[in-house]
Structure 1
């Protein structure tokens, strides 16, 4: 089987055995179900190219299976309750991943794992809570479509100007203000669509008009006062939307250019006419536009707005410095409390820093979280979960790991770990049972010892 579509059902769990024999699968769609976790056997799908998980409540799923899917090209995780804490820390092994959709989630910043994707071309981060972009975005050298609409962005970093292959940039419904767009945005020479509707923009950089391939420019529902005069030189423009900018005054056409150079009438009257305004409204706009204008008043108004924005930035900087100082004082107080003498004797190894090891390749994230018995059998050097119906049936040629989970007197989870070695088991199975028993202990963070009961061997 190459294609499996189980979307738009009411599936809440997937059997662990489902993907064992589907290693040739290329396309898998599990969207719009009720899945809260994914089986660890999904890491066997090494040929999978497209994975769609949209619309599943995967809040507590860590998605540790993803780094093993090295052939993955498309990954859609829209509306799956993704946060900074439940995404993989790295996806650099997915060298073919080109299309990622993380829209409609709870991200407050761009996940670090996205910066390590060498083939990324389409990225959708719309409808999140992202407040700023890192300078690391200059690593997206192949990105062609970037959707950041419906976030909390107030400005774009200058590093975005290094995305030389970017064709479509969507910034609708953010909080971009007076200095929201970098002055070097004209370096995006391949830009075809730029959409920044429903923001707080008052001006756009003149360099935006140097994007020779720009076909669609949407700036409606802002606070634009004017546009650069170079807007008239965008010869490839097909859509210019500047509706609902009440203070907008369109720049005049240069007098030294013939009319045949232009295929769009940028006058306010024509824009109102295209928008379906009544003839009386168009005539009133023409009369209002013919009156004398005070260019100095407009410059002063813009300067006041810019000064106000700079004051707000200064306040933010001072608040940030205050927060850093408070955090530093708090850490110093905690350090002093930790050094204070106490009557309790600490273990010698409690002060040692434990290395960060990932055992999710062998054990699921819910292991040891409920009282009961869990058993694994060693197969091909790795532990494989044994179904409950087969508990108690051990074979002399195999080795097993047994986890007993129980509640102690205080109501806290506790564990006992054993490994059972068959009398006719091979040396590799014997070694792996002992090694993975220790791995299980480390994965649980338990302080118990791993034992091999002699009466079972």
Structure 2
């Protein structure tokens, strides 16, 4: 049947070819002669392996191999340099070889839902044009740091996996608009998520979250779904803590950052590019330029939610309960959302007039 269809197609030179629901166990080798087609639909078959003749489809832009019996991400696919959309959902793929992700310079859409993937290779960063990546219902435990290099990624689906966290570098996903992470085991979202300034949709329902990152309110969120998480509850208990003793390293770091702040220094992790005369800089500002390791360390500092001063190490983690509708302007959820707040000292924690609460664990 498939051979007959291919023979007919050779005569008409079509741009699209559909061979869905044909009970195909393999793709006829004659497929390589159809170098004119742009779309090839092969879903709902029993295909186990791809023929090397597929490499001849130089103009192919859309390939649908969903619901077949493929057990590998075939290296043959990387030779389809014009490919823009690739569907591989509902197969038995358990591993992606690192060399198989070369050549996909035009790929904007990849669907790997419903496979058996336990990890993504670091070479995932080779998908330099990817906009939509979907890996729902696999067996992923973590994502590689290199995943965060996908600066063109707009929509990411990873629901129904076994993820316990996201890479700290997630803030580099500057184009990300939609994030689907429901039904995982995520205990904490990284602070870097607050750097995804285009993020409009977040679904983290049915995870193990207790609190959200500090910069949640700075995101342009339109929809947030977080039901079935053990979120912190607003149950105030009076507590006054004694003043702590800071380490010499912490004291020194705070002193330096205060001096830099007082001299209007706004960034100590890189040299200033302004036209300001270096001779007018403060002594501290001049000196810090010669110690790149210290600048890098100070760049990881946090800012106290009460006094606004910078500190090096997370001293006291608190929570602020924000109203989803009034404060975050969300219509998808009601009630209070627990958002992380960092304080520099117990002195600030004991100060009157703020609405930050210490976090008590059972």
Q: Is the 8 A contact 2:221 2:328 kept in 1?
A: no
- SS where residue 86 of structure 2 aligns? strand
* Aligned mate of 1:238, from 219, 222, 241: 222
Q: Is the 8 A contact 1:34 1:57 kept in 2?
A: yes
Q: 1:17 to 1:34 in 2, by over 3 A?
A: closer
Structure 2 unaligned blocks of 5 or more: 235-318, 338-355
TM-score (norm 2): 0.65
- SS where residue 3 of structure 2 aligns? coil
- SS where residue 106 of structure 1 aligns? coil
Deviation, structure 1 residue 39 = 2.1
> 1:49 and 2:13 equivalent?
no
Deviations 1:365-388 (A, max 9, x none): xxxxxxxxxxxxxxxxxxxxxxxx
* Aligned mate of 1:252, from 320, 331, 350: 320
* Aligned mate of 2:175, from 185, 190, 194: 190
* Aligned mate of 1:79, from 67, 84, 88: 67
Residue 107 of structure 2: aligned partner: 120
TM-score (norm 1): 0.52
* Aligned mate of 1:141, from 104, 128, 131: 128
Distance 1:170 1:228 in 2: 20
Q: 1:127 to 1:267 in 2, by over 3 A?
A: closer
Distance 1:41 1:174 in 2: 38
Q: Is the 8 A contact 1:229 1:253 kept in 2?
A: no
Deviation, structure 1 residue 220 = 0.2
Residue 263 of structure 1: aligned partner: 329
1:30-429 equivalence runs, <5 A = 30-59=19-48, 61-84=49-72, 88-111=74-97, 112-177=99-164, 180-234=165-219, 236-249=220-233, 251-252=319-320, 262-264=328-330, 269=335, 295=359, 297-298=360-361
Q: Is the 8 A contact 2:222 2:329 kept in 1?
A: no
Question: Aligned-residue CA RMSD in angstroms?
Answer: 2.8
Deviation, structure 1 residue 249 = 4.5
- SS where residue 17 of structure 2 aligns? strand
- SS where residue 146 of structure 1 aligns? strand
Deviations 1:158-185 (A, max 9, x none): 10111010000101000011xx200010
Distance 2:179 2:12 in 1: 41
Deviation, structure 1 residue 233 = 1.2
Distance 1:249 1:156 in 2: 30
Deviations 1:286-330 (A, max 9, x none): xxxxxx9762x43xx7xxxxxxxxxxxxxxxxxxxxxxxxxxxxx
Aligned positions, number: 258
> 1:24 and 2:92 equivalent?
no
- SS where residue 91 of structure 1 aligns? helix
Distance 1:115 1:205 in 2: 29
Q: Is the 8 A contact 1:31 1:56 kept in 2?
A: yes
